[in-house]
Structure 1
Amino acid sequence: MAHVFLPRRKGRAAVLHYAAVLDGHTMNLHAVLPDSAPLGESAEIELRNGRSRVYAPAHLYEDREDRLLMDAAVLLGTGPGGLALPSGRWKTTLLIQDGRKTRKLPLLLVEPPVPYAGPTKPMGASPVDGVRHRLGRTVTGSLRVVTSNPKPSAEVVRIDLSHSALVVDFRLLGTRIQDPWAEFVASRRRIERPVEALPGGIWRVVVPLEEMPPERRATEHWDISVASESTRALRIGRRLHDVRNPMRVFAINKAVVAPAGRPPMIVHPRYTAAGNLRVTCSRMPEAGRRA
C-alpha cells in the first residue's frame, strides 16, 4: 500500500495510511494523528486481547506541514526483543503519555493491506517460529492483529551433498515428534533412515547415495518426509520465505557421484513449486549407452 498523506483531521482516532507485516513478523505502521492529539513525552502501541496486554514503542513527530505523525515497527514472535502473542485477535490502540495523562487513540485502518505483484510476496508466517500474523479490522474499523499458531511443518536448515551421502538438517515447527525417522520415497521404492537430534532443535538425516541410484527408470525423484508412530508424515521443505519461485531462487547445485559398486549418477537436490525438498537421481548418459 502506498503512503497517502492527508491533512490532520478533527476526531479522536489516528488514521493509518500504511499497515503491513512485511517479513512475516515485523508490523510496520504509519498514521496521521488528529489535531487534538498532543506530541507528548512518549508513545506506545498497546495490543489487547481480553485481559492480556502487551506494549511496543512508537515514534511521534511533526512534518513540515505541522501534521503530527506516528511511526512504529513492532517485532512479533519469539525472536529476541519480540512480542510473543498467543493465538487470538489483538486490538491495537495508540497510547500517548502527556504529563500525568495518558491519551488513548484508536488506530483506524481505512484500507486493509493488499497483495502486491513481483518476484517476492508477503510472508504468511514468521521465518523464526512459523507463527502467522494477519492484519484486519474490527467492526469499528480499528486495526486488529490476528495471530495463529504455526502449521506443523519440517523446514530445511542445511543440505550437504558429498560423493557418498546426502545430509539434510531440518527443524520442526508447530509440532513435537517423539522417536522420529526419515523416509525417502521414489515411485515404488522406500528408504527409512534414522534421524539425529542436534543442538538448537535441529534434526539431521543422512542417506548413503549407494541406496538411491535409479533402477527401473533413467531418472527417479525422491521425496523426503519425517514420520513417527504417533504423527502423520511431514514433507521436509522450505516454505517460510517471501519468494514466488523457490525452484529458481533456492537452486542447489547438482553433483556427479559414483556410489560404491554403482555406475556414476547425477544427484540434484531441489525444491518443488510448493517448497518441498526433492532429490532427483539420474543415470549418467555414458552409463546408459554402455548398458
Structure 2
Amino acid sequence: MPSPRVSRAANNAANPMNKIEFMSLLTNRTNSSDPVSVRHRASDSPVHRKDSFNSTSSTSSQQQQQQQQLPEEDCMKLNPSFLGIALSSLLAVDLWLSKTIGVCAREGSSWGSARPLMKLVEISGHGIPWIAGTLYCLYKSDSNAGREVILNLLFALLLDLVLVGIVKGIVKRRRPIHNRMDMFATFSVDKYSFPSGHATRAAMVSRFMLNHLVLAVPVRILVMLWAIVVSLSRVMLGRHNVTDVLFGFFMGHMQYSLIEYLWLSPSTLPALFRM
C-alpha cells in the first residue's frame, strides 16, 4: 500500500494547475485583506495623484493669498492715520483734564463745599435770567439809543439759543459721566454737552457790554472776570468737558461779530423803535 505522501506527490504531479490556482487565490486574498497595499495601490493610480496635486495646489494658493492679505491688515492696524492719532490723543487729554478740574461735580468731591457757590455762578450765566432782564430793561427804556442797544442784546441772546441748540443737536456729545443733572431750567438739547451754552453766552455778552456800554475800569475788569469764571465753573461742576467750553467761548466771540454785522437800527426796523 503506497504512503499518503507518495500519493499526494503523485496527484500534484498529475495536476500541476491545482497548485497554481491555489497560489493565485492565496495571493489575491492576502492583497485584498491588506489595507496598506490597497492604499498604496490607490495612491499609485493616476487619478488619485491628479486629485492630490489639485488639492495641494489649491491649499498652497490659499495660503499664499492669506500671506499676501495679512501684512496689509497689519499695516492698517499698526499704522493708523496721523489725524486719527491726533484726535484720539486730544480726546484722551480732554477727558482726563475735565475729570481733574471737575472738583465740584459732587458733594463728596475735593471742592464739594464750593458747589453751591458754583451753582450761583451757573445761574448768573443762564439764558432765562438774561432774556427776562433784557425784556424788563427794554420795557423801562425811554430813549431810542438805549432801546437800540437793549434790543440788539435781546436779539443776540435769542440768536445764541438757536445756534447753540442747532450745534448740540448735530454733534450730540454726551455730558461727562461725573456730571450730576441738577441744572436750572434745562431743555431737551441740554442733555448734550458740545458746545457750552453758558460759555458762548458769557463771551458774547461780555464783549457786547464792553463795546456798547460806558463802564468804569473796575466794572470792565469784573465783566471780563465774570465771563472767565462762568466758563471755568462749567468744567468744575462737571457739566462740560474742556473742549466744550473752549469752543463755546470762541463761538460766543464769533456770534458777537455776527450781531455787529446784523445790527438792528431805527432805519432797518423803524416799527420796533416807535413802541
TM-score (norm 2): 0.25
Q: Which has the higher helix share?
A: 2
Q: Structure 1-normalised TM-score? A: 0.24
- Higher RCO by CA contacts (8 Å cutoff, separation 6 or greater): 2
- Asked which structure has the greater CA Rg, the reply is 2
